[in-house]
Amino acid sequence: MTNEELLEVIEEAKASGVTRLDLRYKRITVLPREICQLTSLTRLDLGYNNLTTLPPELFQLPNLTELYLSYNKLTVLPQELFELRNLTGLGLGGLSLSALPSELFQLTKLKELWLEGNQLTTLPPEICQLTKLEELILDNNPLTSPPLEIAEKGIEAIRQYFSSLKAGVASLNEVKVLLVGDGAAGKTSLVKQLLGEAFDQHEDTTHGISIRGWDVEAGGQPIKVNIWDFGGQEIMHATHQFFLSKRSLYVLVLDGRKDERAEYWLRHIESFGGDSPVLIVLNKHDANPSFDLNRPFLLGKYPVIKGICRTSCADGHGIGRFRDALLKELAQVPMIGIRWPQSWFAVKQRIEQMGKPYISREEYGDLCADAGLAGEENRSTLVDFLHDLGVAVHFKDYILNATHVLDPVWVTNAVYKLINAEQTADSKGRLRLDSLCAILPQGREEPYSYPACTHAYVIELMRKFQLCWRVGEEAVLIPQLLPVPEPPFTFDYSGSLGFVLHYHSFLPPSVMPRFLVKRHGQIKPDLCWRTGAVLRDQASGSEAVIKADTEARRIYLWVNGPRRKEYLSFLWFSLREINSSFEKLAVSERIPMPDDKDVTADYQTLLDSVQDGIERIRPDGAKRAYSVKELLGQVELKPEEKKSFVEMLNSVVEIKAMPPFVDINISELFKIVLATQKGK
């Protein structure tokens, strides 16, 4: 917007006496002093422009109560800003602020304060002086005090945190290190080398997980390390979602004797661990000294890789260098610098000394009360921290929330035994609930005991993480153990509506099992296998086939029936919901050509073409150009079809009231449904 155009807007606003003015995304570089003529303004939004300074006249607006300056190029916040004592809303996001000016806390009428996208590492206790503050947005800041987990819970959690600090504070100095990789890569032997234990060439394979403690000094400070050694059996990869967490340190161990899948594991780590640092270990150097990776390529593609080490646990080669690299990275993990109230440490210490595999929520509450830890937000945040550190396992779920598992090995061992039980494999994944007593050991002499009262919790945990679904009242079905061969069935592919999801670099192994669990109620009898299923929506009579090609990293959908577009949207939404639970998962959603199903066009590219005024497009491999509008018409829903889709979705999940339908595409509709489902 030019200065002349902006002056015209101001003149029109003055003439009409507007009280709210939105000037976002106008590419404004200079705000004219004539802005002071808008004396009726109560709200002014100047976000997402190129302002480097603000005229003093802006701060003379007598009725201004909301001012939003986010995502400009302001290098200094003018002192006049803090004279606006009647402000109830202030936006300062994306301004590269590394600290908050003390004058900010004089704006005691603030109810909303937006500080997202800055460089804030600490939040001063003076924030509590803003007693009327109801909403404080701190997303995308490198906060360590208060911890990000607390900041994300909102201003009340922050107030409780600062209140608890009055009784004393200390640095956490504890971190979780996770070793992942294929089975028999030597992860357990590597852990033993770090701990100074002897190498055993007949080391048993790790089943589930093994957790060891390691006290070290790194960066001039003592650090307690919780080392998690994950079993590499492929059938257990989907259970990693229980425990892979952010703000940890990952060690990817590759077997030098094999053609290892480095990128598979890097994507696996990225999906759950986000930007957590990774060390790669090329193990068993003694067996294959020439084994290596394309280091420049991987380091360029995955910035989280902090080093690549060669080791041999058999002869000790490279162990010292790996240890040094590990200690260097440990000192830089963000979790290390977090400060905890003394009451939190007291609760943590009591839990670690209990020697019980699990406690009830009530027992946890009593521990907190005894330690002087008040406030539900504080208690909830602490148990989340204990989960990330590996001290306890906690899940936010109505049923699961009733129990806090204090020994992660206890619950992982149970899941491992159930999935790998001979009777489960023999019955093609069907697990009878009355067989749990025979599969899960009980008794004081057992290292891990599972009395009957714990069985419901274990099954509910598996259901929550979509590892199984109920079959009547007497059994569950584990999709990872379904038959591999596709059973015979009939389906009219020629007249069907098709859709393809192409996972660019990584198709997480849990996507298809989770989809089968989510939509198990619509699977036709005996028509599901390990990588696909035939489904039917009883209400509409529509049918669908879904198949995963793991090598090609694609999932295919075909839908037939009177409401096939709505049913396709329903199944597409289910996959979108699963995909959104992974970090940085790149997926291309593609529409097949009507006369050549092997050629597809990216859905988002088609939407962008509409925005750019492009009417026809020739996808890669196509022999001719196609109408963009007609291709989108294969999947886009008309208003009445959108209502039908939401009704279909409401039959399986509870979502909050939808806003009135406007002219939005199906992708935007998905976002609205996901947001309302989460209550955002």
Return the structure tokens found at 25. Answer: 């995304």
Q: How far apart are the C-alpha atoms of 318 and 611, rounded to whole Å?
A: 55
pLDDT in tens, 106-156: 999 999 999 999 999 899 999 999 999 999 999 888 888 888 778 888 898
CB neighbour class for 451 (10 Å; exposed up to 12, middle 13-18, buried from 19):
exposed
Of 576, 546, 556, 563, the residue nearest 670 (C-alpha): 576
CB neighbour class for 37 (10 Å; exposed up to 12, middle 13-18, buried from 19):
middle
At 360 the pLDDT is 83
Of 378, 353, 330, 384, the residue nearest 175 (C-alpha): 330
Span 408-481 CATH architecture? Orthogonal Bundle (1.10)
At 400 the pLDDT is 55
- Predicted model pTM: 0.74
Three-class SS state of 112: strand
Identify the helix (H) or strand (E) that includes residue 546: strand 542-549
Name the percent of the chain in helix, strand, coil, to the closest 5. Answer: 35, 20, 40
Q: How far apart are the C-alpha atoms of 345 and 371, rounded to whole Å?
A: 9
Instruction: Give me the residue spans of the domains in the chain.
Output: 3-143, 174-336, 408-481, 497-677
Q: Name the residue type at position 642.
A: K
Classify domain 174-336 at the CATH topology level: Rossmann fold (3.40.50)
Query: How crowded is residue 298: how many other Cβ atoms within 10 Å of its Cβ?
Result: 16
Helices (H), 239-281: 262-273
Identify the helix (H) or strand (E) that includes residue 417: helix 408-420
Rounded to whole angstroms, the maximal C-alpha distance in the chain is 86
Return the structure tokens found at 265. Answer: 């594991």
At 677 the pLDDT is 57
Classify domain 3-143 at the CATH topology level: 3.80.10
Of 415, 356, 392, 357, the residue nearest 207 (C-alpha): 415
The length of the chain is 680
Angle at 392 between CA 678 and CA 407, to 5 degrees: 130
Say if CB 227 and CB 177 are below 8 A apart.
Answer: yes
Q: How far apart are the C-alpha atoms of 230 and 161, rounded to whole Å?
A: 34
CA 559 to chain CA centroid, nearest Å: 30
Span 497-677 CATH architecture? 2-Layer Sandwich (3.30)
Say if CB 119 and CB 142 are below 8 A apart.
Answer: yes
Q: How far apart are the C-alpha atoms of 642 and 663, rounded to whole Å?
A: 11
Three-class SS state of 529: strand
Q: How far apart are the C-alpha atoms of 273 and 246, rounded to whole Å?
A: 4
Identify the helix (H) or strand (E) that includes residue 163: helix 155-165
- Got the DSSP string for 608-657? HHHHTT--EE--TT-SS-EEHHHHHHTTPPPHHHHHHHHHHHHTTS--PP
Q: How far apart are the C-alpha atoms of 179 and 107, rounded to whole Å?
A: 49
Q: Do 174-336 and 497-677 have matching folds?
A: no
> Which residues, 6+ apart, have CB-to-CB distance to 30 below 8 Å?
3, 51, 53
At 429 the pLDDT is 93
At 512 the pLDDT is 94
Say if CB 18 and CB 38 are below 8 A apart.
Answer: yes
Query: How crowded is residue 415: how many other Cβ atoms within 10 Å of its Cβ?
Result: 22
Phi, psi (rounded to 5 degrees) for 13? -65, -35
At 53 the pLDDT is 92
What's the first-to-final CA gap in the chain, in angstroms?
33
CA 498 to chain CA centroid, nearest Å: 29
Return the structure tokens found at 342. Answer: 């003394």
Q: How far apart are the C-alpha atoms of 62 and 165, rounded to whole Å?
A: 39
At 104 the pLDDT is 95
> Which residues, 6+ apart, have CB-to-CB distance to 270 below 8 Å?
302, 304, 506, 583, 584
> Which residues, 6+ apart, have CB-to-CB distance to 630 below 8 Å?
594
The parts of the chain modelled with pLDDT lower than 70 are 232-242, 259-260, 395-402, 653-663, 675-680
Phi, psi (rounded to 5 degrees) for 122? -135, 150
> Which residues, 6+ apart, have CB-to-CB distance to 608 below 8 Å?
none
pLDDT in tens, 159-205: 988 888 887 888 888 888 999 888 888 999 999 999 999 998 888 87
